[in-house]
């Protein structure tokens, strides 16, 4: 009969990104926590008091670093430093490859690392988004292989899907109900009790790991499908010649109308997770229809925006090749530095194929990371545009960062400039088109 000691738990958080760092900081207020990341630069920046994800409260981070009261947080890139830990929480990315298939390499490598230090009665909890069955069918065999231990006899597993919403300062980690699960009833109770010590919004103990995995997968698939519906409406209403947001405002007067808006669907969750669910379905012989059709609609919205802008430019008499455009925003959502799976890149690439010279400005994005990932040189600041008297033939508001509302469009436009607003936040009198 397995036994777990909550009081003397020592936690290792594997992966210190958007999910792992806030989790490590919160647990470190009550437990001894080792934050592990293979990227030494990431550890160095955190030790210097800087978080490039902007997810952690720096004052809280500094408060839990190297405490001497039995709790606290330390960072490491050495697996040897994890040997004293009893709970391992995996928060590494789970992306898709170029063929939209799950890329489990980060997850399986994290499992290898843990397997090398795993001891009897240790618990491994996965938070990374996966398809139902992944923990027990893909990760557990790796843990067994590298530890020499037997699952549910020597070590145990749990699954508690992350629900972090990057850039959201209201619904933060502790304020979002946490789904928990475990590989046995006893470990399920332990995992639930563990998260209850930090999650003020409460926990929900799922009946199995597969159920918990599936719950996360459908959360984002549901949102993706709902957005794809209004995006398809935007395509239809564009052909009809009416404004989608006007239609949604009218329909929204009914009490049970779901108020989704059209837009670019990127990021590491909504634009990725449906493919994990579809992959599992296909492996069992079922070809999902609704999930993948929604993905196809959303994946093409960036190209639609670029083509719509070009058509509007032609109507205003512009020669497209050699014209100049400014894209405002490159991150996948507002007031957030995360550039993963940003659909703004589709707008950029499509316009460049038309021969348009495209500038991109985003005060939240990391210049070096954008260059490395997308080979785009960001404009450093809007003042430089003003100073150089740059006038654009087209401006696309792609991300509704708060600071963009302060831009003086009169200084960077002419009467022939096309302004396209993908977020429907600009004054309608100055825009030529919007989603």
Encode pLDDT of 243-293 as tens digits: 999 999 999 999 999 999 999 998 888 889 999 999 999 999 999 999 999
Q: Is the pTM of this model over 0.85?
A: yes
> Residue 2: is its pLDDT beyond 70?
no
Percentage of the chain lying above the pLDDT 70 cut: 99
Give residue 381's pLDDT: 85
Chain mean pLDDT for the chain = 94
Q: 31-90 pLDDT, tens per residue?
A: 999 999 999 999 999 998 889 988 888 889 998 987 767 799 999 999 999 999 999 999
Q: What is the mean pLDDT of residues 289-305?
A: 96
Residue-wise pLDDT for 77-133, tens only, equals 999 999 999 999 999 999 999 999 999 999 999 999 999 999 999 999 999 999 999
pLDDT tens column, 394-434: 999 999 999 898 899 999 999 999 999 999 999 999 999 99
| Residues 3, 34 contacting (CB under 8 angstroms) | no
Q: How confident is the model at residue 236 (pLDDT cuts 50, 70, 90)?
A: very high
Which pLDDT score, from 0 to 100, does residue 382 have? 86
The shares of helix, strand and coil residues in the chain, as percent rounded to the nearest 5, are: 40, 15, 45
The Cα 155–Cα 125 span in angstroms is: 11
Output the pLDDT for position 69: 74
Residues with catalytic roles: 269
**Distance of alpha carbon 236 from its chain centroid, rounded?**
29
Q: How many residues does the chain have?
A: 435
Of 13, 25, 99, 17, the closest CA to residue 338 belongs to 17
């Amino acid at each position: 009969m397995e036994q777990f000691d909550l009081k003397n738990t020592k936690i290792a958080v594997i992966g210190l990104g958007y999910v792992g760092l806030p989790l490590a900081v919160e647990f470190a207020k009550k437990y001894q926590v080792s934050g592990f990341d293979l990227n030494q630069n990431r550890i160095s920046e955190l030790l210097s008091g800087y978080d490039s994800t902007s997810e952690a409260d720096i004052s809280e981070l500094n408060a839990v670093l190297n405490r001497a009261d039995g709790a606290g947080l330390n960072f490491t890139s050495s697996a040897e430093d994890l040997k004293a830990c009893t709970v391992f929480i995996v928060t590494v990315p789970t992306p898709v490859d170029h063929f939209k298939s799950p890329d489990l390499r980060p997850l399986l490598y994290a499992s290898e690392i843990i397997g090398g230090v795993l001891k009897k009665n240790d618990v491994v909890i996965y938070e990374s988004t996966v398809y139902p069955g992944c923990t027990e069918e893909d990760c557990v065999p790796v843990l067994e292989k590298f530890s020499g231990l037997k699952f549910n006899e020597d070590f145990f597993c749990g699954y508690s899907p992350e629900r972090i919403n990057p850039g959201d300062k209201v619904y933060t980690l502790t304020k979002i109900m946490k789904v928990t699960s475990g590989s046995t009833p006893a470990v399920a109770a332990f995992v639930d009790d563990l998260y209850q010590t930090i999650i003020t919004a409460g926990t929900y103990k799922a009946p199995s790991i597969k159920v918990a995995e599936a719950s996360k997968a459908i959360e984002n698939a549901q949102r993706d499908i709902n957005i794809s519906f209004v995006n398809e409406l935007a395509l239809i209403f564009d052909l009809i010649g009416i404004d989608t947001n006007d239609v949604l405002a009218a329909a929204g007067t009914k009490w049970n109308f779901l108020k989704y808006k059209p837009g670019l669907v990127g990021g590491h969750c909504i634009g990725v997770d449906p493919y994990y669910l579809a992959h599992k379905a296909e492996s069992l012989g079922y070809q999902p229809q609704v999930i993948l059709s929604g993905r196809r609609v959303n994946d093409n919205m960036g190209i639609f925006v670029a083509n719509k802008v070009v058509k509007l430019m032609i109507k205003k008499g512009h020669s497209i090749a050699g014209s100049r455009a400014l894209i405002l925003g490159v991150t996948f959502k507002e007031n957030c530095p995360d550039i993963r799976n940003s659909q703004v890149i589709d707008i950029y690439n499509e316009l460049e194929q038309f021969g348009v010279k495209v500038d991109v400005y985003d005060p939240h994005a990391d210049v070096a990371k954008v260059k490395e990932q997308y080979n785009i040189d960001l404009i450093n600041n809007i003042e430089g545009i003003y100073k150089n008297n740059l006038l654009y033939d087209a401006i696309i508001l792609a991300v509704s960062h708060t600071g963009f509302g302060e831009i003086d469009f009169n200084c960077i436009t002419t009467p022939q400039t096309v302004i396209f607003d993908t977020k429907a936040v600009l004054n309608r009198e100055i825009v030529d088109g919007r989603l």
